[in-house]
A and B are shown apart, each in its own frame.
Chain A
């Protein structure tokens, strides 16, 4: 198997996630796109770990596990924030959340 296959797939997922973050207006959809980005990073970590040999493969998998844990925490807090925005403004349209706009 070529290393490039995995890296290009990860790059593709990353770019799709970036598109989602930039183009979506619904806050939940933006959070889902962030999950895509984190997953592409996980693929990169595991694939490059395998590429570097046994020891680095273990390290890559451990790092990917940590990323998954942080992603879970991030989704929990993110959805709590989204719920709070929805409760205060009755909408989760991110283009209306401009309190900090200069």
Chain B
């Protein structure tokens, strides 16, 4: 999964990058299953792999007519970007190690999908409604922006 992430940001072919993104997203779904969040894993597969990656492939095909290896996908900040990313990883890693050391995850009651649903429709009902309005606004906005007039 980490390797696919690295291949995704270094791939020379845009479509290959999208396919590596599928691998990473499937890996994240597996991590969710490891963490006993099976509803989230299924949502991840449906929404990300099913919808968002297809959207990306549409975007690639609508904007890059010649599909294939392209040498000009990276700008000239690669070195600086790599240094920044490595530095960030070092900082995050040391902070996480300081904060959580070798804490173990508790093996307790498992969250079932029903609990998540109960929580969404009781505690978080207002954010849920806000999210639905946001999705509608984004949909309308995307149509308006991309409309050919």
Spell out A's residues near B (CB within 8 Å).
1-4, 6-9, 11-20, 22-29, 31-33, 35-36, 39, 42-43, 46-47, 50-51, 53-54, 57-59, 61-62, 64-66, 68-77, 79-84, 86-87, 92-95
Q: Judging by beta carbons under 8 Å apart, are B59 and A79 in contact? A: yes
How many Å lie between the Cα of A22 and that of B87 in the bound state? 14
Contact B62 A51 (CB under 8 A): no
* Cβ-defined contact, B109 with A54, below 8 A: yes
- Closest chain A residue to B20 by CB distance? A32
| Cα distance, A49 to B105, chains bound together (Å) | 10
Task: Return the chain B residue nearest A73 by Cβ.
Answer: B138
Question: Could you tell me the distance between the alpha carbons of A23 and B79 in the complex, rounded to whole angstroms?
Answer: 8
Instruction: Give the distance in Å from the alpha carbon of A1 to the alpha carbon of B24 in the complex.
Output: 21
- Report if A79-B55 is in contact (Cβ < 8 Å); known contacts: A11-B96, A65-B40: yes
Q: Is the interface of B mostly helix, strand, loop or mixed?
A: helix
Q: Are B111 and A57 in contact (CB under 8 A)?
A: yes
For residue B92, give the distance in angstroms from its CB to the closest CB of chain A: 4
Interface pair B116/A24, CB less than 8 Å apart: no
Q: Are B84 and A4 in contact (CB under 8 A)?
A: no
- The listed residue (B24, B84, B92) touching A11 by CB distance below 8 A is B92
B139 proximity list for chain A (CB < 8 A): 73, 76
Supposing A15-B86, A32-B8 touch, asked if A72 and B63 sit within 8 A by C-beta, the answer is no
B128 nearest in chain A by CB position: A66
Do A8 and B8 touch across chains, with their CB atoms under 8 A apart?
A: no
Q: A26 — which chain B residues lie within 8 A by C-beta?
A: 14, 64, 70, 73
The answer to whether A28 and B59 have CB atoms under 8 Å apart is: yes
Cβ–Cβ < 8 Å partners of B78 in chain A: 23
Q: Can you list 11 residue pairs at the A/B interface with Cβ under 8 Å? A: A16-B2, A19-B84, A23-B77, A54-B111, A58-B115, A59-B119, A61-B37, A72-B47, A76-B139, A83-B145, A93-B72
Q: Which of B34, B55, B131, B137 contacts A1 (CB 8 A)?
A: B34
